[in-house]
Amino acid sequence: MIADDERSIRLTLEAGLTLNGFRVTCVRTGREVINLTQKEEFDAVICDIFMPDGDGLEVARNLRESNPQTPLILMTAQGSVELAVKAVAEGATDFIAKPFEIAALASLVRRSISARKEANANNEKESESLAQEFSRSGLVGRSSAMVAVYKLIARAARTDATVLVTGESGTGKELVAKAVHDFSSRSNNTFVAVNCSGLTDTLLESELFGHAKGSFTGANADRTGLFEAADGGTLFLDELASTSPAFQASLLRVLQSGEVRRVGRAQTRKVNVRVIGASNQPLRELAQQEKFRPDLYYRLSVLTIDLPPLRDRKSDIEILAKHFLRQIGKETNKNFNLSQESIEALKCYDFPGNVRELENALTRAAALCVNGLITLDCLPSYITDAKKNAVANTERNIIEDRPTLEELERRYLELVLNEREGNRRAAAETLGINRRTIQRMLAKYKIADVSDDEDENDED
């Protein structure tokens, strides 16, 4: 896209860049730049620094918010170089001073596009690498939500700070804690996990801090606590929201001093333990309501990793399902496969029990299936019923008001894009059309495009 309020410049640049192999769209205002980039995808935007409705700074700010991956090159006169530098600081990719040769501008555009594609490719490689790396720890998924979790785990592993893992039951909080330990400098030492729920204060303190012989009824011998057992390693404390104020005070003292005192003993012992806490309840809100010690919360949440529920990363369901079936197959010496209908049924269900519920459903299905193929009949009825309801609701929502054929096409395109999380390539495969056809349809129906995949051949 070329944006300049002078018609002669627009025509010159359009002709010159077209001869250099680009397909060019011209506009004359900054507002047109913002509006059009929200409807269509451009490989680069070339914009004059001074526009009738603002300057390059405003265009840079708006474009960085709406299309952060799109290179923005500013054309600047000698007296506006300082403003162009400020715009680069605001997010513009580069600037070129007038007068300039068309060949120089074409070369700059190609370099900008190439750098953007290389950065995107590196991000994809990093995401794939992280997904493969953490799959060894039992964490499975390639959705953007899980890639964000992997990056937080990697950062947490590089430090010794306390970590708080939050998320609904069944999302894999202990797996995350184990991954932080496994990729940290403490990996050669002990990882100890304890569930704090269901234990009285005395038992919990005895479990974690140890006790002296005779300190309470049943204490027939000295006992080493889990803090001491985890010395040099990592201690994972799950379900912290269920603990009492008295225990929270004891835990806070240990975190502050690095010392533990066995129940019934006066002397303390120094320990070197990295603590990772977890809760399926919102500890921040509980701390604000004074239902959980605020000072302990802030001590625990130096780094926080929030695990997404499975319903928010449905693109991972098929990957997870196949992962669990491989595990079951190793245990039973059998091979299991999912029918396409069963995969679709799993994706329609919200899994309130998250990954744990999915694993249990597949364990049941593997026990019921014949010849290793898991069909709809093998899945629990509440999962297959969810698929039937989803199909019925989708059909009603799409056609109940008897739309025109064009409107029906628009609705179906939106439906497929939503199911494929905005990925144009996947949507094109589902619809049996070319990705560029989808791009034209997005522009035609003015549908916001959230895809981050790139076309390697065409330059707009």
Average the pLDDT over each of 77-91, 304-318, 407-421, 436-450 and give the range with the smallest value. 77-91
363 confidence band (pLDDT: 50, 70, 90): very high
Superfamily of domain 144-307: P-loop containing nucleotide triphosphate hydrolases (3.40.50.300)
| Cβ-contact 436, 455 below 8 angstroms | yes
| Per-residue confidence (pLDDT) for residue 125, from 0 to 100 | 60
The reported pLDDT for the residue numbered 453 is 44
Q: Are 459 and 43 in contact (CB under 8 A)?
A: yes
E strand or H helix that includes residue 191: strand 191-195
pLDDT of residue 130: 54
Reduced DSSP (H G I as helix, E B as strand, rest coil) percent helix, strand, coil of the chain, to 5: 55, 15, 35
Confidence label for 456 from pLDDT (cuts 50, 70 and 90): very low
Report which of residues 106 and 405 the model is more confident about: 106
Which span out of 42-56, 256-270, 279-293 was modeled with the highest average pLDDT?
Answer: 279-293
Please provide the CATH number assigned to the domain covering 314-445.
Answer: 1.10.8.60
CATH 1.10.10.10 fits 2-118, yes or no: no
Provide the mean pLDDT of the chain. Answer: 83
Q: Is 236 helix (H, G, I), strand (E, B) or coil?
A: strand
Residue with structure tokens 């896209």? 1
pTM: 0.60
**What pLDDT is recorded for position 170?**
93
Q: Round to whole Å and give the CA distance between 437 and 452.
A: 17
Exposed / middle / buried, residue 433 (Cβ in 10 Å: 0-12, 13-18, 19+): middle
Whether the predicted pLDDT of 257 surpasses 70? yes
Nearest Cα to Cα of residue 37 among 15, 79, 67, 82: 67
Residue type for position 33: V
Q: What's the token pair of residue 171? A: 């999302």
What's the pLDDT tens digit per position in 15-25? 889 988 899 99
Q: Do domains 2-118 and 144-307 have the same CATH topology?
A: yes
Domain ranges of the chain: 2-118, 144-307, 314-445
Percentage above 70 pLDDT, the chain: 86
